[in-house]
Chain A
Amino acid sequence: MLENLASGFAVALSPWNLAYAGFGAVLGTAIGVLPGLGPPATIAMLLPLTYGMEPVSAVIMLAGIFYGAMYGGSTTSILLNIPGEAGSVVTCLDGYRMTRSGRAGAALGIAAIGSFIAGTLGVIGLSLISPILAEFALRFGPAEYFSLVLLGLTMAVYLSGGSALKGLMMGVLGLLLGTVGLDPVLGAERFTFGLPNLTDGLDFVVVAMGLFGIAEVLSNLEAPEQPAALKTGIKNILPTREDWKRSWAPIARGSLFGFFIGVLPGGGAIISSFVSYAVEKKISKHPEQFGHGAIEGVAAPESANNAASVSSFIPLLTLGIPGNASIAMILVALMIHGIRPGPQLIQEHPDIFWGAIASMYLGNFMLLALNLPLVGLWVKLLRVPYSILSLVVVVICIVGAYSVNNSTFDVGVMIVFGVFGYLLRKGGFPAAPLILAMILGPILERSLQQAMISSAGDPLIFIEKPLSAGLLAVAALVALTPLLGLVRGGTTKPA
Chain B
Amino acid sequence: MAEARRGLKSGDLVAGGFFLLLGVGAIAGAIRLEIGTPSEPQPGFFPFLGGLGLTILSALLILQDFRGRSSGGEPFVETRRPVLAILGFVAFVALLDPLGYVLATALLAAVLLLILGVRLGWGSILTVVVLAAGSYLLFDRVLDVPLPEGILGAVFGP
A interface residue numbers (CB < 8 A to B): 48-49, 162-163, 165-166, 168-169, 172-173, 175-176, 179, 183, 185-186, 188, 190-191, 214, 217-219, 221-224, 386-388, 390-392, 394-395, 398-399, 402-403, 406, 408, 411-412, 415, 418-419, 422, 425-429, 441, 444-445, 448-449, 452-453, 456-459, 490-493, 495
Q: Could you tell me if B147 and A394 are in contact, using CB atoms closer than 8 angstroms?
A: no
Q: Could you tell me if B47 and A428 are in contact, using CB atoms closer than 8 angstroms?
A: no
Q: Could you tell me if B76 and A222 are in contact, using CB atoms closer than 8 angstroms?
A: yes
B37 to chain A minimum Cβ distance, whole angstroms, is 6
Q: Which residues from B are CB-within-8-Å of A388?
A: 127
- In the complex formed, the residue of A with least CB distance to B45 is A449
Find residues 105-158 in chain B having any chain A CB closer than 8 Å to their own CB.
105, 108-109, 112-113, 115-118, 127, 131, 135, 139, 143, 145-148
Which of B44, B64, B77, B86 has a CB less than 8 Å from the CB of A222?
A: B77
A164 to B127, CA, bound (A): 43
Render B27-52 as a binary contact track against A, CB cut-off 8 A, 1 for contact. Answer: 00100010001111111111100110
Identify the 9 closest CB pairs spanning chains A and B, nearest first.
A457-B39, A428-B73, A428-B72, A163-B71, A188-B43, A457-B38, A183-B43, A176-B50, A172-B53
Q: Could you tell me if B78 and A217 are in contact, using CB atoms closer than 8 angstroms?
A: no
A222 to B85, CA, bound (A): 11
Q: Which residues from A are CB-within-8-Å of B70?
A: 493, 495
Q: Which residues from A are CB-within-8-Å of B117?
A: 224
A224 to B146, CA, bound (A): 33
Q: Could you tell me if B145 and A399 are in contact, using CB atoms closer than 8 angstroms?
A: yes
- Beyond A179-B47, A219-B82: 9 further Cβ-contacts under 8 Å? A172-B50, A173-B22, A221-B78, A399-B147, A408-B97, A411-B93, A425-B74, A426-B74, A457-B38
Q: Could you tell me if B109 and A391 are in contact, using CB atoms closer than 8 angstroms?
A: yes
Find residues 5-33 in chain B having any chain A CB closer than 8 Å to their own CB.
5, 11-12, 15, 19, 22, 26, 29, 33
Q: Which residues from B are CB-within-8-Å of A190?
A: 29, 33, 43-44, 47
Q: Which residues from A are CB-within-8-Å of B81?
A: 221-222, 224
- In the complex formed, the residue of B with least CB distance to A442 is B46
B25 to chain A minimum Cβ distance, whole angstroms, is 9
Q: Which residues from A are CB-within-8-Å of B54?
A: 169, 172-173, 176
Q: Could you tell me if A449 and B116 are in contact, using CB atoms closer than 8 angstroms?
A: no
A391 to B61, CA, bound (A): 36
B interface residue numbers (CB < 8 A to A): 5, 11-12, 15, 19, 22, 26, 29, 33, 37-47, 50-51, 53-54, 57-58, 60-61, 64, 68-79, 81-82, 85-86, 89-90, 92-93, 96-97, 101, 105, 108-109, 112-113, 115-118, 127, 131, 135, 139, 143, 145-148
- In the complex formed, the residue of A with least CB distance to B84 is A221
A403 to B145, CA, bound (A): 6
Q: Could you tell me if B15 and A394 are in contact, using CB atoms closer than 8 angstroms?
A: no
Which of A169, A173, A456 has a CB less than 8 Å from the CB of B39?
A: A456
Q: Could you tell me if A418 and B43 are in contact, using CB atoms closer than 8 angstroms?
A: no
A406 to B101, CA, bound (A): 12
Q: Which residues from A are CB-within-8-Å of B53?
A: 172, 175
The A/B interface has a contact count, at CB < 8 Å, of: 181
Q: Could you list some 14 contacts between A and B, CB below 8 A?
A: A165-B60, A172-B57, A173-B54, A175-B53, A222-B79, A222-B81, A224-B81, A394-B112, A412-B93, A427-B15, A448-B41, A449-B41, A493-B70, A495-B5
Q: A186-B43, A415-B89, A491-B71 given as contacts; is B131 within 8 A of A395 (CB)?
A: yes
Q: Could you tell me if B71 and A490 are in contact, using CB atoms closer than 8 angstroms?
A: yes
- In the complex formed, the residue of B with least CB distance to A429 is B15
A388 to B105, CA, bound (A): 14
A403 to B136, CA, bound (A): 12
Q: Could you tell me if A166 and B41 are in contact, using CB atoms closer than 8 angstroms?
A: no
Q: Which residues from B are CB-within-8-Å of A222?
A: 76-79, 81-82
B47 to chain A minimum Cβ distance, whole angstroms, is 5
- In the complex formed, the residue of A with least CB distance to B76 is A426
- In the complex formed, the residue of A with least CB distance to B81 is A221
- In the complex formed, the residue of A with least CB distance to B51 is A176
- In the complex formed, the residue of A with least CB distance to B97 is A408
B57 to chain A minimum Cβ distance, whole angstroms, is 5
Q: Could you tell me if B74 and A428 are in contact, using CB atoms closer than 8 angstroms?
A: yes
A146 to B27, CA, bound (A): 22
- In the complex formed, the residue of A with least CB distance to B57 is A169
A229 to B81, CA, bound (A): 25
A435 to chain B minimum Cβ distance, whole angstroms, is 15
Q: Could you tell me if A445 and B147 are in contact, using CB atoms closer than 8 angstroms?
A: no
B40 to chain A minimum Cβ distance, whole angstroms, is 7
A118 to B118, CA, bound (A): 43
A176 to B21, CA, bound (A): 13
Q: Could you tell me if A452 and B41 are in contact, using CB atoms closer than 8 angstroms?
A: yes
Q: Could you tell me if B116 and A390 are in contact, using CB atoms closer than 8 angstroms?
A: yes
Q: Could you tell me if A175 and B50 are in contact, using CB atoms closer than 8 angstroms?
A: yes
Q: Which residues from B are CB-within-8-Å of A412?
A: 93
Q: Which residues from B are CB-within-8-Å of A402?
A: 96, 101, 145, 147-148
A419 to B89, CA, bound (A): 10
Q: Which residues from B are CB-within-8-Å of A429?
A: 15, 73
Q: Could you tell me if B11 and A427 are in contact, using CB atoms closer than 8 angstroms?
A: yes
A163 to B70, CA, bound (A): 9
A425 to B78, CA, bound (A): 14
Q: Could you tell me if A165 and B71 are in contact, using CB atoms closer than 8 angstroms?
A: yes
Which of A165, A188, A191, A386 has a CB less than 8 Å from the CB of B61?
A: A165
Q: Could you tell me if A492 and B93 are in contact, using CB atoms closer than 8 angstroms?
A: no
Q: A387-B113, A426-B73, A427-B73 given as contacts; is B64 within 8 A of A165 (CB)?
A: yes
- In the complex formed, the residue of A with least CB distance to B116 is A387
Q: Which residues from A are CB-within-8-Å of B76?
A: 222, 426
A425 to B74, CA, bound (A): 7
- In the complex formed, the residue of B with least CB distance to A176 is B50
Q: Which residues from B are CB-within-8-Å of A214?
A: 89
Q: Could you tell me if B105 and A398 are in contact, using CB atoms closer than 8 angstroms?
A: yes
Q: Which residues from B are CB-within-8-Å of A387?
A: 112-113, 116, 118
Q: Which residue among A48, A188, A222, A456 has the maximum number of chain B CB atoms within 10 Å of its CB? A: A222
